[in-house]
Amino acid sequence: MSTIRVEDDEAVRTITLNRPERRNALVPEMMDELAAALGEANTCGARVVVLAGEGESFCAGLDLAVLREMGGMSAEQHRVEAERVARMFRALWECDVPTIAAVQGAAVAGGTGLATMCDFTLAAPEAKFGYTEVRIGFVPALVSAYLALQVGDKVARGLMLTGRMFGSEEALRLGLVSEVVPAANLQERVAALAAELMRNSPESLRATKRLLRAQKAGGLAAALELAMDANAASRETADFKEGVASFIEKRKPVWGG
């Protein structure tokens, strides 16, 4: 693993996003490695998975270098990359082992998706969240399928259409965060929650997660297919190209309308 760190300790698998110099921003290698590490959690004997970020940020969303490269991709390549993102989120959603996110700092766009899709999301007061894709002409396509299940349609629309950032206390009120924990106590609280979960029947926990997924499976599968199409299509729009250019050049975007 070159972009994440995986540590197995007494049936707790800790997966740490390990690109602190880039605020743990997502690149294709990280998405593939995350999907693999989460998939292995179902068979490696782990009873709890902890998802964390190295350094001050949890995950800053897509890396700027990835955004730059998108301008030269074909439609087929855009579809392949959309499927890669979907595979990463699906691996987290389909993990049979209880998952805990430890969010110490910013979790933006896809990073918000990773943090809030876990079964439990413990966040420091300093943590920030946001589905900011519309600010750069992108579509929060794949996270939208999961977000609407978590908070309902009206709240999901408000978060995704404004693209605004919000803090951990608001995320707690919305149901995207389970607990707000002082940063100094975050790791201790994660360990305590993991220990609490491991006192329960591991097969019952797995069966419960499978049941909850099955109850939503039909609608979610269709939503993800639509989301992959929307993700790939949005990468080819003039607004996306202008949004990325303005972001790189640190200026206000000029939308074509």
- The token pair that represents 201 in the structure block: 């029947």
Q: For the chain, give the longest Cα–Cα distance.
A: 57
Helix axes 28-40, 75-93, angle to 10 degrees: 30
d(CA 2, CA 84): 17
- Kindly give the residue spans of alpha helices, DSSP state H, lying in the chain: 28-40, 64-70, 75-93, 110-117, 141-151, 153-162, 168-174, 186-198, 202-234, 238-249
The full length of the chain comes to 257
- Region 96-125: mean pLDDT is 97
- Region 234-254: mean pLDDT is 93
- What is the DSSP secondary-structure string of 26-63? B-HHHHHHHHHHHHHTTTSS-SEEEEEESSS-SB-SB-
CB contact at 8 A, 11 and 46: yes
71 pLDDT tier (thresholds 50, 70, 90): confident
Kindly report, residue by residue over 164-219, the tens digit of the pLDDT. Answer: 999 999 999 999 999 999 999 999 999 999 999 999 999 999 999 999 999 988 88
Amino acid letter, residue 17: L
pLDDT confidence of residue 94: 95
119 pLDDT tier (thresholds 50, 70, 90): very high
257 pLDDT tier (thresholds 50, 70, 90): low
| Mean pLDDT score of the chain | 95
- Whether 236 has a pLDDT exceeding 80, the answer reads yes
Task: Note the Cα 64 to chain centre separation in Å.
Answer: 17
Amino acid letter, residue 115: A
1 pLDDT tier (thresholds 50, 70, 90): confident
Q: Does domain 4-198 have CATH number 3.30.70.60?
A: no
Catalytic residue among 33, 40, 81, 133: 133
d(CA 175, CA 172): 5
d(CA 177, CA 223): 23
- Active-site residue 133, yes or no? yes
d(CA 70, CA 138): 12
**Pairing relation of β-strands 128-130 and 165-167?**
antiparallel
- Region 125-147: mean pLDDT is 94
- Region 124-152: mean pLDDT is 94
